[in-house]
A and B are shown apart, each in its own frame.
Chain A
C-alpha cells in the first residue's frame, strides 16, 4: 500500500501531465510534417529534459514517440505523404479513401486503431514484459533470418494488380539497399567513391521521394487535374465499420507487440505484416488497396502496437530496440538511471509511475488526435495548386534535415522520378520500400548466421522459433501461389483442369550455399509444376 501511494505521489504531478500532453501534441504535429520524424523530435527534445525530473523527462519523450507514430498517418491519408516511415503502409488505403471523399473516415479509423493498439501494447509492456523479453533474447540471427523471410512474403499482398511488377519493384528496392559499405568486410558497393552513399541511401529522402514527389510531378504533368475534395465533412467512421475492423486491429496490435519486443525489426515491417495478414483474412480482400477501412486500421494497429512494446527490451534488458528507444536510453543515463533488471530492483516506484504515465498517454492520444484531425484536415480543403508547392518545400526541408545534406535533396528528387515512373507503369511503390527495408536485414542475418555457426546450415532449424517462421513462410507462399492460381483460372478458363504441384527439397551443395534440388537435378528453392490436359509448365524459383 505504501508502494502504491509512493507511485501515485511520484506520478500525480502536474508536470507529468503537461509533459505527456505536450509530448503527444508535438509528436502528432512533427509526425504529420513530411520529413520530420518522431526520431528527430525525440532527439531534439532530449536536451530539454536534462533539467526535468526523470519520470517527467521520460514521459515527455515517450509522448512524442507515441504522438509521432500516429501523426505520420495524417499526411499519408490526406496528401499521400507519409509523415513517418511506419505510415507508408497506411497510405495504401488511406489515400484512396481520402480521394473518394472519405478523409474523415480514414483519419478516424487511423486514430482509433492507433489508440487501441497503443493500449494493447502498453498492457503487454506492463504485464508481460518479462515473458516477451525472454522471447526477444531467443531471437538470434537464424530466427531473425526466418522472420525476415516471412516478412518478405508480404510483397505479394502489397503488389497491387500485378505480382510480377511487385517483384520487380521489390528487387529494385533490394538492389538500392545494397548501396553502401559491406557489413562484414567494409568494402564499397555501388558507392562510386561518394561519401554520401557510404552510409547507405538515406531512408527519409527515399520515402518522401517515392511517395510524395510523384504527386507533385503528376499534378504538373497532367493536363487535366480532376478537382478532388478530400471532404473532411464526409462520413465519419461508423460503429459497425469499427466493429468490422476490430479483429484486424487486435491481430495487428499483437503483431506489433511481438515485432516491437524484438530489437531491430521496426514499426514499418510490423505495419506491412499486419496489413498483409488483414488482407489475407478479410472477406473484402479484393477491396484492399482501393480504399478499404480495414486496411488503414490494420496498418495503424501494426505500427502503433510497436510503440509500447519497444520499451520492453529497453526497460527489462536495457537493450534499445530502435533509434528512438536508444535516445530514451540516453535520457535514462543522463538522469543516472540504468534500464534493465537493476531498474526494477532499485527504482520500482519510478517504473510503475512511468507505466501510469504511459497508460495515460493512450487516452491523451485520443483527445489530441481528434483535435489534430479537426485542424489538419483543413489541408484537404486547400487547392492543390497552393498545397503542392508547400508540400514540396517541406519535402525538401525534410530530406535536408536528416543529415544536413544537400545530396539527400538530390536523392529525394531521384526517387521522386522513380516513383513517378512506377505510377505511370502501374508498378506499386510499397514493394520497393519493403525490399529496401528488409533486403539488408535478410543479407545481414544470413551472413551472421553462417559466421556464428562456422558454416553449418543446420543452425537454420535450431529451435521452435525457427520452425515456426519456416512454417509461416511456406504457408504464406503457398497461399499466395494458390490465390495467384485461382485468379489465373478465373481469367483463363482453359486452365481449369490444370493442377499445380509445388515441391520443395533441401540440398546442401557447400557449407555456405544452401541450395535446393528440384527434378532433373536443377538447383532451386521452389519448384512449381503446372500440369494441364494439353500443356505442362515448370518454374524453378
Chain B
C-alpha cells in the first residue's frame, strides 16, 4: 500500500512538473498574453520615470499594452526585491533597473534577493555618462592639476545623495587616486548644483544632462568624462581613464545606466522577444531623437553580456562601499 501511495505521489509530482512545463511552453509561445507591467523603482516624474515611460510608449507597438507603475523606496531596492520574490504576474513584469540595482546590495544590509541570480537580464537601454566638473572660478583646469592638489590638501566633492551613482563615482575616484576628498551629500541635484556653481564644493561627478548646460554657458569646467569612450556631447573633454592613467585611473568607468530586467522564471523565448522588441525600438528614429535630450548614448549589452556587466558592477560597488565605510 505504501509503495502504491509512493508511486502515485511520484506520478502526480511528475505530472505536475510536466503540466507546468507545458503551460510554461504555451505561455512562452504566446507571450505576452496579458498586459506587461513595467515597474519603475523611483517616483513618478524623475529621470528613470521619464525614460521608462518613453521606452514603454515605443515598445507598445511591438508587444501590446505596457502599464508603467512606480514603486519607489530605499534606493530602488523595494521594487527590485518585490520582483525577485516573483509570484502572481511575475511572468509579465519587467523592471527598469538603474545603478541602484548594483549599488543597493553594497549599502543596504540584509537584502533578501541576489541582484544577479534572481533576475533575467534583458537589455541595457541607455547609458548617461557622469562628468567630472569644477566651478568656473576653480584653480584646476585639468584632472592632473586637481589630483596633484587633492593629494596635498583636503578637497570636497558633492553628490545628490549618499549611495547615488554620483557619490559612488567620487568614492571610486578617491580610492584609486588616494586623494583627500571629503563627500558633501545634498538631497537631490536641485540642492547640490547651486553649491557647486557657487564654489562651495570643489568638484562633482554629476550626470551629463544636469551639468551640460552649465558647461556650455561657462559656469562649470569639465575636466573629464567617466565613461571609457569620450562623449559625443563633449568631444574635447578627455575620459578619466585617459587623463588619469598615471594615477591608477586606467579603466575607470562609471555612468548612470538604465536597462530592463525580469524575474528569473521568465521563459527564454519571452526574453528573446523582449530583446528583439527593444532592439527594434532602439534602432528607430523616435528613440534616437530622444537620446540627445538626456546627453545619453544607447546601451549595447543584452542577455548574458548585460548579466556580466551587472555582476562586475555589484563587485565594484561592494568594494567601494567597504572602503568608504558606507554600510547601512
Contacts and interface: CB of A to CB of B under 8 A. Distances in A.
B185 A334 contact: no
Given A50-B57, A184-B162, A451-B184, A42 B195 contact: no
Given A43-B43, A186-B326, A451 B182 contact: yes
Interface in B178-211: 182-191, 193-195, 197-198, 200-201, 209
B326 A319 contact: no
Interface in B24-79: 43-47, 49-50, 53-54, 57, 68-75, 77-78
A320 to B, nearest CB: 4
Contact of A44 (B44, B46, B186, B328): B44
A260 to B, nearest CB: 13
Contact of A141 (B44, B188, B195, B290): B195
A185 B43 contact: no
A183 B191 CA distance: 13
B213 interface: yes
Given A140-B195, A140-B200, A336-B293, A196 B325 contact: no
Contacts of A374: none
Contact of A342 (B197, B198, B209, B217): B217
Contacts of A141: 195, 200
B89 to A, nearest CB: 14
Given A186-B107, A195-B78, A199-B74, A333 B294 contact: yes
A347 interface: no
A185 B327 CA distance: 8
A47 interface: yes
Given A50-B54, A195-B74, A138 B217 contact: no
Given A186-B162, A263-B190, A404-B70, A46 B200 contact: no
Interface string B259-281: 00000000000000000000000
Contacts of A199: 72-75
Interface in A272-323: 313, 317-323
Contacts of B250: none
Contacts of A136: 194
Contact of A340 (B45, B214, B290): B214
A341 B214 CA distance: 9
B197 A452 contact: no
Main secondary structure of the interface of B (DSSP, over half): mixed
A187 B213 contact: no
Interface residues of A, number: 57
B21 interface: no
Contact of A404 (B71, B156, B216, B292): B71
Contacts of A338: 212-213
Interface in A211-242: none
A320 B45 CA distance: 12
Contact of B50 (A334, A451, A454): A334
A405 interface: yes
B109 interface: yes
A366 B126 CA distance: 44
A185 B190 contact: no
Nearest to A332: B293
B327 A263 contact: no
A39 to B, nearest CB: 8
B190 A321 contact: yes
Nearest to A444: B187
B49 A43 contact: yes
B117 interface: no
A264 interface: yes
A330 B184 contact: no
A530 interface: no
Given A40-B44, A140-B195, A183-B185, A188 B293 contact: no
B19 to A, nearest CB: 34
Contacts of A322: 190
Contacts of A138: 198
A326 B190 contact: yes
B110 A193 contact: yes
Interface centre among B110, B198, B292 (most CB of A within 10 A): B198
Interface string A175-219: 000000111111110000101101100000000000000000000
14 contacts: A39-B45, A47-B53, A47-B57, A184-B185, A186-B163, A195-B73, A264-B187, A264-B188, A319-B189, A322-B190, A325-B190, A340-B217, A403-B72, A454-B154
Given A50-B54, A326-B190, A340-B217, 16 more contacts: A46-B44, A46-B53, A137-B198, A181-B162, A184-B162, A185-B325, A195-B74, A195-B77, A198-B75, A264-B188, A319-B194, A322-B190, A327-B44, A330-B50, A334-B54, A403-B73
Interface of B: 43-47, 49-50, 53-54, 57, 68-75, 77-78, 81, 107-110, 154, 156, 161-163, 182-191, 193-195, 197-198, 200-201, 209, 212-214, 216-217, 290, 292-294, 325-328
Interface of A: 39-40, 42-44, 46-47, 50, 136-141, 181-188, 193, 195-196, 198-199, 263-264, 313, 317-323, 325-327, 330, 333-334, 336, 338-342, 403-405, 444, 448, 451-452, 454
The 10 closest A-B pairs by CB, nearest first: A43-B44, A327-B45, A43-B45, A140-B200, A340-B213, A186-B162, A195-B74, A198-B74, A320-B190, A264-B191
